[in-house]
Homo-oligomer: A and B are copies of this chain.
Amino acid sequence: MSGAVHVGLDLGGTNAKCAVLSPDGAILAEARAPNDADRGENAVLARLVSLAKAAAAPHGPIATAGLGLPGHFDPADGRGTLLPNLPGEWVGRPIARPVSAGLGVPVRLVNDARAMTLAELRLGAGRGVRDLVCVTLGTGVGGGVTIGGRLHLGLGNAGEIGHTTVVPDGPPCGCGNRGCLDRVAGADAIARDAGTGTAAEAIAAARRGEARAADALAAAGRRVGLALAGAVVLLWPQRIVVGGGVAAAGELLLGPLREELRARACVAPEVDVLPAALGAGAGAIGAALWGAEPV
């Protein structure tokens, strides 16, 4: 459908984001809006439709659409199955269908961290490689895997590196396991270990030279490195990309991460670990790429 554009949406806990891509994958526009959670699920979905229509309108008709979600869903019927971080009642609710009806094209769902992975592979820090492992460090820890230049989803939602066990007797995780990376290297864990109110404050404190905050970031980095080491010995990927808000800590986190990864994954060749390049819009960009992906 030459001339028509690819639209991507990313529904987060507080914001909805949109990206518009040209037929050859160039980013034409990005937009965001509050997700309207307080007005209910139908309003949230209506907001997605109006956000996408407004963003696409100056550029052309919509050819394909993708929608990133912070959790799991049934790709066959487009309903949510596990969306704990989205305000409202989403499990069992049709999500793809109403957005598709509003936009006039089919809507493909994708997990938001997998969308980020695809965006970084094609347009960001993963350009030029085919086998990539991404991890995104925010309130939770998400991830994604590409094999041969395509997202690997396995039985549906592969890429959940955040639920790798890194502290076998660690704190309980919402998934039912204990000591998941998600519980011990996410923003809350960092703030708690640093004794600050937020992970952003911990990063600021560490930059001022406060040892406890620096130690908290280093510990999180080492835990991410341990989980990534398991992925690296298993997959021997070409590159690793680290994104999400907590990745703003830069070398305070990435340095210890690389050190742990190298010490643990010494059976595999050394892999470059790069910060994500696309920022907070990566999820919407990746959703647009996913919607446009040949089946």
Contact = CB atoms under 8 A, between A and B. Distances in A.
Nearest to A157: B236
A234 B266 contact: no
Contacts of A154: 131, 235-238
Interface in A129-186: 131, 143, 145, 147-148, 152-161, 163-165, 168, 175-177
Contacts of A156: 236, 269
A57 interface: no
A231 B159 CA distance: 10
A255 interface: no
A163 B160 CA distance: 20
Given A158-B235, A236-B154, A237-B155, A177 B230 contact: no
Question: Quick one: copies of this chain in the complex?
Answer: 2
A-side interface mostly: loop
Interface centre among A160, A229, A233, A235 (most CB of B within 10 A): A233
Interface of A: 131, 143, 145, 147-148, 152-161, 163-165, 168, 175-177, 226-227, 229-231, 233-238, 263-269
